[in-house]
Every structure is written in structure tokens, then in C-alpha cells.
């Protein structure tokens, strides 16, 4: 009797398929052993719960009894949540691109030989009936099964070639590489060549936010700002991109938060799913950009995005959920779109007169006969047209926003993926920590601290980190990204509110990185040394939808190394940068995280440690943190904190003092705020005789 084996899983994506007539297995020994025993090829389907085309393929094929019967007869069928198993997704996405010479994506549909789980054919979405130049899925199933039976020698030969090709993907480290700042200039030049001067961003449609590229622009401007020719074009590229995204439909103009990407080049119509990681990265970037520019729009977007996260994405226990679906009631974007008559019925005539031109309700429909809100006209221009003050217009628009949001909340919501992913939570902890300082919102720091405590309680077991939590279960060992992102987040949170336990946690994570993930030749593998053996052990230096784990690891080890005076961490950071050096120089646009880590390493970081009475030390920290300085860290440490020796030596000595360190050289105690500011401006530190 056929059985679907997904009902006991915790992944919302797998549970979405638990009632399919397909005999689905989760990835594991039961499925792999059966495939070998019966000599059946494996149909591997990888997706995630918020994926629109995953839903389409499920409705068309996996819910169809005839298609399911073919799948059950010809294959052992395995369903994987790419968010729980990024190790598998990374391998088979790359393999699919090698086999088909086409782009990857989700749903990913791969056919594997049962012996070593090596793929011999694949693709992404396949329709039930022939269309879009693709064969019908049922016909494809028959042809793939026949090919497996008749061409095993060819498949074996192709598998050997694929193994060799995957092995070549692992960069060969150059221990002799001399790290210099030429890559920073190369990255700057590449960004300008790809920059969209009308709408911002660095690609055409579909257009993704690329927060790391925005950060690179802002950092490059700051780096040049101390010279005679500040790079205002770099500042413009970053600022325009942030502005146009905030004005566009990529941003939820009612509820806050960003969708995953825009299907057009003007940021008007998004792919409506909302991912925690995008919003985490953009929360931090808008907060930092406000600090750099003073632009009120950036502060508003950061504030609204943080409010959305705490309101709609936070679990009662303090962790953060993974995503909101693109679809509701079977239609993409249905939750978010409006008609002018709906809006007119909810607002007063005065509110509508301001709201309609602001968000395009007086223009043609922009999404399947309805209106997705996009900012078109400035408040000042509307005020002039209505002969009102901008403040009155702004208040009417805000009143309209709140009324529409309240009405929207009564609609049928998109599904929410309520698993809690360590890596994505780490990114949000970092974003909240930055926003807390910039926006002066202690509640955001408290939310970040609670999320850290949740991870420590539920996802840290026997000195090892776990990757995902739901319904009281955390079955999966964590990956490189989990460790690197969380250590990075803890360093950021320590700058917002000091807890010595967070520093201890960051050190433990760094030790696991070195013990379980480090390649002695340089860099870090995506999986731990004791991870399940797969057809390939990935080691990548490039960014994708997430920052590169190697880039973040290099940055955090550099900063932690200087903070603690630990040369092992600095050496590991240097080896990582050397291992990724060819990629940084040849394709800087794909390695922005590593480029930013390179700047951290070359700058030797500037660390300011403030000790003293809580009131005075907090005041100093608030004033000093108001300065945008991406290669500076500021820690306000209570006098009674338990500290490692490198920090314990920096005591208050009876008054509030600061120590400014660059690299391994620290200043004598700076005893007043003006002296600290003067020293920062000069960029120098008078060394202490006792060292760091």
C-alpha cells in the first residue's frame, strides 16, 4: 500500500505535500536505501513554503492522481525544504546548472541515480501540459525513467564528469596572495557600470535588492570621505537605490517590510513573498544609511520594517518566523492589491484626494486589473495641487494608510512559514541591534536579546548549533551560515547592550567554526566535518540570496580577533581572504561580502571600549554611535562585567574612560568625550606600554 511519509515532518513546506497522492519521503536513509534496493531513480523535488511556482507545480502535478501514479511507479520520490537543507540545495542547484546550462531556481526538479545520489537530469518547474517550450511533466517522467534503464553506462560516465566538475568548483587557495585594496576599487567600478541611474539597483528585471552592494557603495563613500575628493557618486548609488525601493511596490506601503524581488526594473510589482532574511539585511542597511545621511525616509522605512517584524513575524517565545507566502486564496498578491472603489469606500473624500495621487489610484491598474500601491507623487506636489500644507497632506495619507491596513488585516492572510531558522534569525538579530542604536529604540535591542536567548536555549546542544526549530523539534545540525551569521549578530548586539554571556557565545561559535568547518588551506566548508556524507562538500565564497558564509566568517573572525587579541582568528580570516582572492578580483560583484571583509581586515578595525558609570558611559556611547563608521566598533562595558584578560585590563579606574584601539595597538585611557572625539578625528591611538 502506498504511503506518504511527510506527515511527521515539521517543515511547513513538507507538510503542504503530506496529503499528495505521491509517495513522498523526506531526505533520509529510508528513501535512499529503497532506491538502491529497487534500483529506481530518485525524483528529488526541492522548494520552500513561500514559493509561488512550487505551489503551481504541486497543484498541477503532485495533486493529480494520474501524474502521482507515474511518479510512484517509476521513481522513489523525495521532497526537500531548501530552507532546512541548504546543503542539498546548494549541491543540486549547481549540478542542475551544469547539466542543463540554464538558470537554477525553485521548484528544483532533479533525477538522481540511486547508488550515489548523483544527478543525471534536471530542471526547475515543469508544467502538467506542454507549454512555455517545456514538455508535459508526465511525458518527461516516462522519458527520464526509460533513459535510466537503457543508458546506465552513459549516466555513470556523466556522473564521473560531474564529480570532477564539482570538485573544480572548490577554489584552490593561494597562500601567497598579497591582500591589498585594489579589489575595493574594482568593486566600486563594477557597481557603477551596472548601476541603474533611473531606478537604482544593479541589475535589470527581475530586480533584487542586493543589500551587500548597497553597503559596499556606502562604505566606499565613507572610505573616500576623509580625503580631498569624497566619492559622492558611490553615496548617490546607494542612496538612490534605497530611495527607489522604499517608494516602490517592493516595499509594503501599508504594513512595512519588503518582498523578495521586483519582476520589473522600476521596483513596482514584486514577487509578493516576504522573507525574513531580506528584511533583516534591509533593516540594517536603511538604519545605517540614515546614520550616514540623516535622510528621514530611511529612518521611517527602518522603523516600519522593524515594527512589521515584531508584529507579524515574531513567535511568542521570541524567535522569528521564516516567511510569508506570495499567495492567498490561490492567487499571488491577492492579499496586497486594491481597487479604487475599495479604497474610496474606506477613506474620507479629503483623505482619498491626497491618497489616490500618492499611490497611483488615479492611474491605470498595474497588477492584473487591480492596483498594487506604489509611490508616484511627492507629498509636496500633492500639497501644492490641493493648496494645503505638506503636514496636512501627510497626516491624511497616514490616516488612509492605517485605515487600509486595518481593513487588509481582515482579509485571508498568506500562509506563514513558522519554522525558526538559526541563520535567518541571526541576520534579524543583527538588523534589530543596528536599528535599536540608530533609532534609539531599546525595544528592538530587547527583541534581539530575546531571540539570542531562544537560540541558546533551543538550538544550542552539547556545544553544537542546530539549524531549524519548529514544534519543539530541532533535528538538523547547523551549517557555516548559522555559525558565522550568529557570531556576527552577537558582536553587533554587544555594541548595543553588553552581556558577557553573548561574548562567550560568540567565542564558542568561533571555535566550532575553526574545529568543524575550516579548510586548513583557507576558508570554510558549508557543512561540518562530521556532517552526513553527500556527493560534494560545498565551499563557496560568492553571495547568493544570503551573504557568503565565508565572507561573514572572515569579517567576524577579524573583528573578534582584534577585540580579544586572538591571532588564531586573525590568521583564519586572512587565510579565508587569500582563498577567495581570485574570486574577489575577477568577480567582485558576486563577492561583496568578502570585499567588505577585506576592508575590515585591511583597516585593522577601530575598536572603542567605554568603561565607567552607567549613565555617563551610555551618554558617551550614544554620542559616539551617532557617527557613521563602518569599520569601527563601540562597546560600552559595565564595570562589574566578567571579561577575558584582553578586555578586563581596560578598566574605568574610578571614572568613565575610553580606550581606542586599532589592530593590536590601544591608546592610553581617554578621560573626556571631547578627547575621544578628537582622537577619533585624528584616527590615531597612543599605545599603552602593556599592549592590547
pLDDT, tens only, 2-26 = 899 999 999 999 999 999 999 999 9
Which secondary-structure segment (H or E) carries 280? helix 276-293
- Rounded mean pLDDT of 92-115? 94
Q: Three cell numbers at 27?
A: 531526505
The CATH code of the domain that includes 112 is 3.40.30.10
Neighbours of 345 (CB within 10 A): 10
**Of 169, 191, 208, which one is at a domain's C-terminal end?**
169
Chain-centroid distance of CA 238 in Å reads 18
For a pLDDT cut of 70, what percent of the chain falls above it?
A: 98
- As a whole number of angstroms, the distance between CA 679 and CA 370 comes to 57
- As a whole number of angstroms, the distance between CA 558 and CA 555 comes to 5
- Rounded mean pLDDT of 442-446? 98
- As a whole number of angstroms, the distance between CA 573 and CA 551 comes to 9
- As a whole number of angstroms, the distance between CA 538 and CA 679 comes to 45
Position 682 confidence tier, pLDDT thresholds 50, 70, 90 = low
What are the CA-CA distances from residue 605 to residues 85, 184, 481, 563, 664 (Å)?
A: 35, 16, 23, 9, 10
Q: In the block, which residue shows the cell 551573504?
A: 547
Does any domain span residue 377?
Answer: yes
- Rounded mean pLDDT of 242-253? 98
Under DSSP, is residue 620 helix (H, G, I), strand (E, B) or coil? Answer: helix
47-84, pLDDT tens digit by residue?
A: 999 998 999 999 999 999 999 999 999 999 999 999 99
Position 29 confidence tier, pLDDT thresholds 50, 70, 90 = very high
Under DSSP, is residue 240 helix (H, G, I), strand (E, B) or coil? Answer: helix
- As a whole number of angstroms, the distance between CA 510 and CA 130 comes to 51
Does any domain span residue 656?
Answer: yes
Q: Which stretches does DSSP call E strand in 48-181?
A: 76-81, 108-112, 119-123
- As a whole number of angstroms, the distance between CA 160 and CA 560 comes to 42
Question: CA geometry: angle at 212 spanning 337 and 177, to 5°?
Answer: 155
- As a whole number of angstroms, the distance between CA 346 and CA 620 comes to 48
Q: Whose CA is closest to 280, among 483, 436, 424?
A: 424
Residue 659: give the domain boundaries: 606-682
H-only helix segments in 604-672: 614-625, 645-648
Would you state the pLDDT for residue 334? Answer: 96
Handedness of CA 507, 508, 513, 515 (dihedral sign): positive
The CATH code of the domain that includes 394 is 1.10.10
Handedness of CA 632, 636, 639, 643 (dihedral sign): negative
- Whether the per-residue pLDDT at 613 is higher than 90: the answer is no
Contact 215, 187 (CB under 8 A): no
| Region class of 515: left (phi > 0), else alpha (psi between -120 and 50), else beta | alpha
Does any domain span residue 215?
Answer: no
Position 143 confidence tier, pLDDT thresholds 50, 70, 90 = very high
Position 686 confidence tier, pLDDT thresholds 50, 70, 90 = very low
Q: Three cell numbers at 654?
A: 574610578
Lowest mean pLDDT among 133-147, 331-345, 516-530, 636-650: 636-650
Q: Which residues contact 282 (CB under 8 A, 6 or more apart)?
A: 209, 211, 245, 258, 305, 431
Contact 522, 579 (CB under 8 A): yes
Contact 282, 209 (CB under 8 A): yes
SS3 content of the chain, % helix, strand, coil (to 5): 50, 10, 35
Q: What is the pTM of this model?
A: 0.95
170-216, pLDDT tens digit by residue?
A: 877 777 889 999 999 999 999 999 999 999 999 999 999 999 999 99
Q: Three cell numbers at 253?
A: 506601503
Does any domain span residue 231?
Answer: no
Q: Whose CA is closest to 310, among 260, 259, 256?
A: 256
Question: CA geometry: angle at 52 spanning 49 and 58, to 5°?
Answer: 75
- Rounded mean pLDDT of 560-569? 96
Q: Which residues contact 78 (CB under 8 A, 6 or more apart)?
A: 24, 25, 26, 27, 31, 42, 43, 44, 45
Q: Which residues contact 355 (CB under 8 A, 6 or more apart)?
A: 343, 347, 361, 396, 397, 400, 401
Q: How many separate domains does the chain show?
A: 3
- As a whole number of angstroms, the distance between CA 59 and CA 373 comes to 29
User: Pairing relation of β-strands 331-332 and 416-417?
Assistant: unpaired
472-485, pLDDT tens digit by residue?
A: 999 999 999 999 99
Would you state the pLDDT for residue 170? Answer: 81
Mean pLDDT of the chain: 94
**Of 410, 427, 451, which one is at a domain's C-terminal end?**
410
Would you state the pLDDT for residue 550? Answer: 98
**Of 136, 169, 202, which one is at a domain's C-terminal end?**
169
The CATH code of the domain that includes 672 is 3.40.30
Burial of 374 (0-12, 13-18, 19+ CB in 10 A): buried
Does any domain span residue 456?
Answer: no
Would you state the pLDDT for residue 2? Answer: 85
- Rounded mean pLDDT of 265-283? 97
- As a whole number of angstroms, the distance between CA 638 and CA 617 comes to 9
Question: CA geometry: angle at 327 spanning 322 and 333, to 5°?
Answer: 110
Does any domain span residue 654?
Answer: yes
Which secondary-structure segment (H or E) carries 361? none
Does any domain span residue 59?
Answer: yes
Position 294 confidence tier, pLDDT thresholds 50, 70, 90 = very high
Q: Three cell numbers at 358?
A: 500618492
Would you state the pLDDT for residue 679? Answer: 83
Does any domain span residue 477?
Answer: no
H-only helix segments in 313-465: 340-346, 349-359, 379-386, 390-408, 422-439, 442-458
- Rounded mean pLDDT of 653-661? 86
**470-484 b/e (C-beta count within 10 Å ≥ 16 → b):** beeebebbbbbbbbb
- Rounded mean pLDDT of 95-106? 91
Amino acid at each position: 500500500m502506498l504511503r506518504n511519509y511527510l506527515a511527521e515532518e515539521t517543515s511547513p513546506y513538507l507538510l503542504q505535500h503530506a496529503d499528495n497522492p505521491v509517495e513522498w519521503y523526506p531526505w533520509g536513509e529510508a528513501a535512499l536505501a529503497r532506491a538502491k534496493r529497487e534500483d529506481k531513480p530518485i525524483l528529488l523535488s526541492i522548494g520552500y513554503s513561500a514559493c509561488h511556482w512550487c505551489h503551481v507545480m504541486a497543484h498541477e502535478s503532485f495533486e493529480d492522481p494520474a501524474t502521482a501514479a507515474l511518479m510512484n511507479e517509476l521513481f522513489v520520490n523525495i521532497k526537500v525544504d531548501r530552507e532546512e537543507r541548504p546543503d542539498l540545495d546548494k549541491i543540486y542547484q549547481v549540478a542542475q546548472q551544469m547539466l542543463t546550462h540554464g538558470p537554477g531556481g525553485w521548484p528544483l526538479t532533479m533525477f538522481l541515480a540511486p547508488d550515489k545520489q548523483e544527478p543525471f537530469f534536471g530542471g526547475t518547474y515543469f508544467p502538467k501540459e506542454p507549454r512555455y517550450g517545456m514538455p508535459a511533466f508526465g511525458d518527461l517522467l516516462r522519458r527520464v525513467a526509460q533513459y535510466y534503464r537503457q543508458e546506465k553506462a552513459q549516466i555513470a560516465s556523466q556522473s564521473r564528469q560531474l564529480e570532477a566538475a564539482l570538485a573544480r568548483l572548490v577554489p584552490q587557495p593561494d597562500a601567497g596572495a598579497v591582500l591589498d585594496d585594489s579589489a575595493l576599487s574594482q568593486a566600486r567600478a563594477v557597481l557603477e557600470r551596472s548601476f541603474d541611474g533611473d531606478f537604482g539597483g544593479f541589475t535589470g528585471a527581475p530586480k533584487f535588492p542586493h543589500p551587500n552592494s548597497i553597503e559596499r557603495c556606502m562604505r566606499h563613500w565613507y572610505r573616500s570621505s576623509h580625503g580631498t575628493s569624497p566619492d559622492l557618486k558611490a553615496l548617490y548609488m546607494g542612496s538612490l537605490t534605497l530611495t527607489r525601493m522604499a517608494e516602490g511596490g517592493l516595499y509594503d506601503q501599508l504594513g512595512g517590510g519588503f518582498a523578495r524581488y521586483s519582476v520589473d526594473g522600476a521596483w513596482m510589482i514584486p514577487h509578493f513573498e516576504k522573507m525574513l532574511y531580506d528584511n533583516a539585511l534591509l533593516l540594517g542597511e536603511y538604519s545605517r544609511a540614515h546614520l550616514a545621511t540623516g535622510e528621514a525616509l530611511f529612518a521611517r522605512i527602518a522603523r516600519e520594517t522593524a515594527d512589521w517584524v515584531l508584529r507579524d513575524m515574531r513567535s511568542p517565545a521570541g524567535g522569528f518566523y521564516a516567511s510569508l507566502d506570495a499567495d492567498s486564496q490561490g492567487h499571488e498578491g491577492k492579499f496586497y492589491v486594491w481597487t479604487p472603489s475599495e479604497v474610496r469606500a474606506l477613506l474620507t473624500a479629503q483623505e482619498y484626494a491626497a491618497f489616490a495621487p500618492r499611490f497611483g489610484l488615479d492611474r491605470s491598474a498595474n497588477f492584473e486589473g487591480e492596483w498594487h500601491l506604489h509611490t508616484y507623487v511627492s507629498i509636496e506636489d500633492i500639497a501644492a495641487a490641493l493648496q494645503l500644507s505638506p503636514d496636512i497632506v501627510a497626516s491624511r495619507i497616514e490616516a488612509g494608510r492605517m485605515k487600509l491596513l486595518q481593513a487588509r488585516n481582515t482579509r485571508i492572510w498568506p500562509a506563514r512559514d513558522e519554522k525558526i531558522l538559526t541563520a535567518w534569525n541571526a541576520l534579524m538579530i543583527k538588523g534589530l541591534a543596528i536599528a535599536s542604536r540608530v533609532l534609539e529604540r531599546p525595544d528592538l535591542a530587547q527583541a534581539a536579546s530575546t531571540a539570542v536567548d531562544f537560540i541558546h536555549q533551543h538550538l544550542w546542544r552539547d556545544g553544537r548549533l542546530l539549524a531549524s526549530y519548529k514544534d519543539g523539534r530541532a533535528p538538523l545540525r547547523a551549517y557555516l551560515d548559522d555559525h558565522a551569521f550568529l557570531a556576527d549578530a552577537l558582536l553587533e548586539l554587544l555594541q548595543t547592550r553588553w552581556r558577557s554571556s553573548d561574548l562567550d557565545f560568540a567565542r564558542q561559535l568561533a571555535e566550532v567554526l575553526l574545529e568543524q568547518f575550516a579548510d586548513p588551506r583557507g576558508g570554510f566548508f558549508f557543512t561540518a566535518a562530521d556532517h552526513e556524507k553527500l556527493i560534494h562538500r560545498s565551499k563557496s565564497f560568492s553571495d547568493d540570496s544570503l551573504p557568503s558564509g565565508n565572507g561573514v566568517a572572515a569579517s567576524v573572525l577579524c573583528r573578534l580577533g582584534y577585540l580579544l587579541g586572538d591571532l588564531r582568528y586573525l590568521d583564519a580570516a586572512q587565510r579565508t581572504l587569500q582563498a577567495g582572492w581570485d574570486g574577489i578580483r575577477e568577480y567582485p560583484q558576486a563577492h561583496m561580502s568578502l570585499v567588505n571583509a577585506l576592508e575590515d581586515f585591511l583597516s585593522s578595525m577601530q575598536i572603542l571600549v567605554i568603561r565607567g558609570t552607567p549613565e555617563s558611559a551610555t551618554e558617551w556611547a550614544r554620542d559616539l554611535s551617532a557617527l557613521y563608521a563602518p569599520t569601527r566598533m563601540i562597546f560600552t562595558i559595565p564595570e562589574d562585567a566578567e571579561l577575558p584578560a584582553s578586555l578586563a585590563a581596560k578598566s574605568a579606574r574610578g571614572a568613565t574612560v575610553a580606550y581606542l584601539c586599532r589592530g593590536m595597538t590601544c591608546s592610553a585611557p581617554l578621560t573626556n568625550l571631547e578627547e575621544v572625539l578628537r582622537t577619533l578625528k585624528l584616527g590615531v591611538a597612543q599605545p599603552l606600554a602593556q599592549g592590547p
